[in-house]
Structure 1
Amino acid sequence: MREYFYQTFPSQLARLEFLRPNNTVRENIMRDSAVVFFGGPNWDSVRADLAPIPDDDRSKFILSLFMIVITDQALHTYNRDSYDAWRAQTNYPKFGSSGFGPHNENPFKILWAPEREQIVDVDQVLAIVPQFVRFLIDETQSFFGQHIPDVDVVAYFDAIRRDTGYAFNQGMVVPAVKEQLEALTMP
């Protein structure tokens, strides 16, 4: 997972279709001139977005995409003082859309939409979920420790579990990821 995330994922992430919010949203609301969105409501564009991603990489791609989006959204929501440092280091795209303002989608829909549309091998995704969740936790600890040490990793994962968006539980992949996350992050 580590090799894929750092070697392959960045170039595949660049293949998504990104939409820039209007100037008012970028400059006055989000205060981020580089911000772009992908996905739209419920990730209705999942078929088109994943079309350029090779079938053999889709499982790792959606898990990696989930990882960057949930981290971005959780830091913005629960560790706002550390968010700018994260954003300066990563500049990842936002999952959702923008009209009169930004509309972030639930990160768990990244795991569910490809399953919903049957464009990912669910058994293949489920097989790598334990490896992925361990990678997610390890990389979170490493990144936070190096770049944003004021963020307590245990409190960060607790905040994710307490968030109302955590109730989203569609399909087979979302519950599997949550089960592993809870097993590895709860005392």
Structure 2
Amino acid sequence: MTIDTYFKTTFNADFQKLTFRRVALRSRNNSGALQPGLIFGGRHWRNMRQDLSAVPKENRELFLWCLFLLSLTDQTIFAHFGHIYPQWSRVTNLPKFACFGCCNRIQNPFHILERPVHDPAGGRLLRLPIARSRIPEAVSTYLRMLESSSPAHLENLAINDFANATIADPDFHFGHGMLARAFREEFAVQLGFASRCEPAAAPEAAA
């Protein structure tokens, strides 16, 4: 099954199996007023095992990709396009990936890719070779999601404007694992921004 097919047919039913809490949310940089909302995950996705135990094993890889892509979309709109976020939120009613307790702060969506790969507690649910091979598909699915959502949910927000905001956000550069780097690189390639998603290598000293 493709990421796109899973997202359209099965993801929402699997997502509703997670445990959600209602809190007053902060953005990742603590800007803006607190906003009430549903959250899941916990700090650095400490609830990963509990959350994923509710998702059928055969769906988990696709679920993780869709969860990451949707969280990245939602959080970019939340942080950079506040004027259209209320409309987006009313339509999607999407719970946030966030920590619990004192901070109630939105968490970086790249944790959704990084932790299942590296944390033995997660059973290494994303196997690097397989997950790496999915990245071109994941990025193209992500761009189609944005294009299909724009007229109905985003007031015709231009994809390039959205991409520029995503790439300019310091949190987009979080994570140094293979999947995080490869996703950023492919995102840049498919949008023609190849020089902007990873820091340039330091120049070599002259001989």
TM-score by length of 2: 0.80
Equivalence for 2:16: 14
CA deviations 1:100-155 (Å, max 9, x no partner) are 55300011111111112223322222222111110100110121133323422101
Question: Is 1:175 aligned to residue 181 of structure 2?
Answer: yes
Higher-Rg structure is 2
The share of aligned pairs that are identical, in percent, is 26
Greater helix proportion = 1
* Number of aligned residues: 180
Unaligned runs of 5+ in 2: 26-32, 194-207
CA deviations 1:64-118 (Å, max 9, x no partner) are 0011111111101111111111111111110012435530001111111111222
Question: Is 1:45 aligned to residue 47 of structure 2?
Answer: yes
2:63 match: secondary structure: helix
Unaligned runs of 5+ in 1: none
Question: Is 1:142 aligned to residue 144 of structure 2?
Answer: no
Deviation of 1:17 after TM superposition, in Å, equals 1.5
Q: Is the 8 A contact 2:44 2:99 kept in 1?
A: no
Q: Greater relative contact order (Cα 8 A, min sep 6): structure 1 or 2?
A: 1
2:10 match: secondary structure: helix
Equivalence for 1:155: 161
Deviation of 1:162 after TM superposition, in Å, equals 1.0
Match of 1:62 among 17, 42, 64: 64
Match of 1:80 among 76, 82, 85: 82
Which of 98-107 and 70-79 deviates more?
98-107
Equivalence for 1:115: 117
Q: Is the 8 A contact 1:55 1:120 kept in 2?
A: no
TM-score by length of 1: 0.88
RMSD: 1.8
Q: Distance in 2 between matches of 1:79 and 1:115?
A: 31
Q: Distance in 2 between matches of 1:41 and 1:162?
A: 24
Question: Is 1:166 aligned to residue 168 of structure 2?
Answer: no
Q: Distance in 2 between matches of 1:160 and 1:174?
A: 14
Equivalence for 2:96: 94
**Partner letter of residue 50 of structure 1?**
L
Q: Is the 8 A contact 1:82 1:150 kept in 2?
A: no
